[in-house]
Structure 1
């Protein structure tokens, strides 16, 4: 089937408490010379717009937005809502939104597989998400139809369930397709043991040196 150019925005979640890392922000951890936030934004290359949801990330590549869920630490559903609002306010109207947590250092190969699944054929579901060979899905690595995801946010908010809401609750009504991605590509960093196993370290440098910020 004829391929088409995927029209999507990227929403990077970077606002968790990192409690099992002693509060060290995951976005600043370093993997193969780049921060995990840099890795996430690189994985989302080609997005019409990108937004980072979480604490002040400092300097970002030009054009990348930043915002924060309200109240802070209100959970992933509230973070997705904040990111979608920021993208809409910036005038974005992309058909799909790529949602990524910023704690998966090898996520790029998973995103490539997900993109091919969308680009190679007509796609009728509400979205697709990464799935490991063991059958475990990763809801924070998926492409979702923007209009459907926005409706899901509004529906959750109408039940006063957005604050502290989970991704599972947010996506419960969506017709989603699972796509098997390369082994290890969605491994995430929750603990220092995870970090050590993945070759991730605390790092000390500022991300995105010599680049202008945008908000």
Structure 2
């Protein structure tokens, strides 16, 4: 599940998914990071190009935040009629080096498969709920519990995770670096589009 539907307000509304790093858009890099997944859903405006069979959905209302986006992505995967996967990889589209984290996250779950998931742990010690792998059943449970407690609109992602038994795994340096501002983009070598 790739989350690509934010307002990008600190980028003046320029969609992060279309920013470019090393010749590929950030969305293309996120799709590549999820390579090998049984199903792919992008939550956000429908992009121009996606791999065959990829799903798209929009959280309701649009721009309702990542918790609502995760719920919409789960619903879309369920509606697709594909066999449910035991695990869901959740990636924000604005992390150009996220692919380096995916094997680390999967290895952590291989070592402790009874966990409800694993969050990437950035070099500065921050838990990254949008660079994570979750048990599909546990994530559904977290969404239901949050929805029963109140709206998903603009809810913190961590509110979905409150009852989950989650591991953390230190990810490689820069794997969790994201683009929130143009200064972030410049520091990562990300630019506004094809030159």
Task: Provide the TM-score with structure 1 as the length reference.
Answer: 0.87
Matched, 1:13 2:3: yes
Q: Which runs of 5+ in 2 are unaligned?
A: none
Deviations 1:150-170 (A, max 9, x none): 111111111223111111111
- 1:43 is aligned to 33
Q: Distance in 2 between matches of 1:131 and 1:82?
A: 25
TM-superposed CA distance for 1:91, in Å, is 2.0
Q: Structure 2 residue aligned with 1:151, among 124, 128, 141?
A: 141
Runs of 4+ residues deviating >3 angstroms: none
Partners of 1:21 and 1:171 in 2: how far apart? 28
Aligned to 1:123: 113
Distance between the aligned counterparts of 1:162 and 1:173, measured in 2? 16
> For each residue in 1:79-101, what CA deviation from the matched residue of structure 2 results, as whole angstroms up to 9, or x when unmatched?
00100011001123000000000
The residue number in structure 2 matching 1:100 is 91
Residue 63, structure 1, aligned to residue 16, structure 2: no
Partner of 1:134: 124
1:112 aligns with 2:97: no
Q: Specify the alignment match of 1:7 in structure 2.
A: none
Pairwise CA RMSD of aligned residues? 1.2
Distance 2:61 2:22 in 1: 33
The Cα of 1:122 is off from its aligned counterpart by 4.4
Q: TM-score normalized by structure 2?
A: 0.96
Deviations 1:121-145 (A, max 9, x none): 3411110010023321111000000
